[in-house]
A = this chain, B = another copy of it.
Amino acid sequence: MLDKDKKIKVGIIGATGFAGVELVRILLKHPHAELSALGSVSFEGQAISGIYPSLAGLCDLVCTDSQSVIDKSDLVFACVAHGMSQEFAADCAKKSVAFIDLGADFRLESEDEYKEWYDGEFLDKELHEQAAYGLPELFRKDIRGKKIIANPGCYPTGAALALYPALAGGFVEKTGIIIDAKSGVTGAGRSPSQTTHFPLCNEGFAAYKIAAHRHTPEIEQSLSHAVGQELALTFVPHLLPINRGILTTAYAKLKEGVGLDEVYDYYENFYKNEAFVRLKSLGQTVNLRDVKYSNFCDLALHADERAGNLIVTSAIDNMVKGAAGQAVQNMNIIFDLPEGAGLDLIPPAF
């Protein structure tokens, strides 16, 4: 752990996007970190509190360019479109600055899949080998000691936490998995569009990128690790007319003879030391309301005995456990801080 009196200097590239400003919200109260610099191409020279007046008096840092951010930081969070992080990562690596990428560049282990889904390539293969996929509850030991972290996508976080134990425990079939997920509109980011224009979004609801969303291979990758072989599943995201949260309803075929109780026991044991996973008692359900603004992932298990399916629902705040909160959790791990430092965020009751 760092000298307790010396705070980690943390910079954010892409600080004025939604994930960026959520990082600011969390880091402002982190006991062992301090914001060193905020980078923004669109708002260079402007105070973050001018763009987000909620921060007035709390953070009046003026946005700067990405180079300055890297130069002033022990750790850089990058909140930029995929394809842009690799160069930042390379630069950070050169300067021994830790790098946590909230984008997609380092999430997929297979360059082939990256090509297929993102139409990009691995610019520096070595760099990719140094990176870890930062879903601590599932892959914590790979994260420790790393200096490049791929922060998971929002949907993959909710989906993997929901189904990994069922697969790892051998309770469900590897085929026939369905992930039906519903996300609040912050997931679409800061740029306005017809889809997110209030009168067209409000009181509407739709699926999108049906069986074609880029988070599909990432979900498959995590769940494949649970079973030690590749699997293919169906993932359908939906846009919920609320601000925050992803509710995932995951369906998997129960193996012959498997009962809900034994699955539940396995989950309970699997997550028993995880501060951010709250497994509901059998019979209870999860609600996005109960995790908003927090780093929690609430989980509930149900079985449909008539049709033979396990149904796992997970609820996360897409901006926290699905983005900025998990990124800070990763920061805590790689800097050997208490994993929950700065993440004692209480979800308001309403």
Contact = CB atoms under 8 A, between A and B. Distances in A.
Contact of A54 (B178, B285, B347): B347
A124 to B, nearest CB: 29
Contacts of A242: 202-205, 241
A31 interface: no
A80 interface: no
Interface string A191-214: 111101111111111111011000
A207 B249 contact: yes
Contact of A205 (B52, B175, B234, B247): B247
A302 B238 CA distance: 14
Looking at chain A, what size class is its interface with the partner chain?
35 or more
Contacts of A53: 280, 284, 287, 290, 298
Contacts of A306: 211, 232, 234
Nearest to A294: B54
A240 B243 contact: no
Number of copies: 4
A286 B206 contact: yes
Contact of A289 (B200, B278, B280, B290): B200
A128 interface: no
Interface string A224-249: 00000000111010101111110101
Given A203-B242, A206-B287, 17 more contacts: A18-B349, A52-B290, A53-B287, A178-B178, A178-B251, A185-B198, A198-B202, A198-B241, A200-B289, A202-B202, A203-B289, A204-B242, A206-B285, A206-B286, A210-B300, A211-B306, A211-B311
12 contacts: A54-B346, A57-B278, A176-B176, A178-B251, A185-B199, A198-B201, A202-B242, A203-B289, A203-B350, A206-B286, A208-B285, A234-B309
Interface of A: 18, 21-22, 25, 28-29, 52-58, 175-178, 180, 182, 184-186, 188, 190-194, 196-208, 210-211, 232-234, 236, 238, 240-245, 247, 249, 251, 253, 278, 280, 284-294, 298, 300, 302-304, 306-307, 309, 311, 313, 315, 344, 346-350
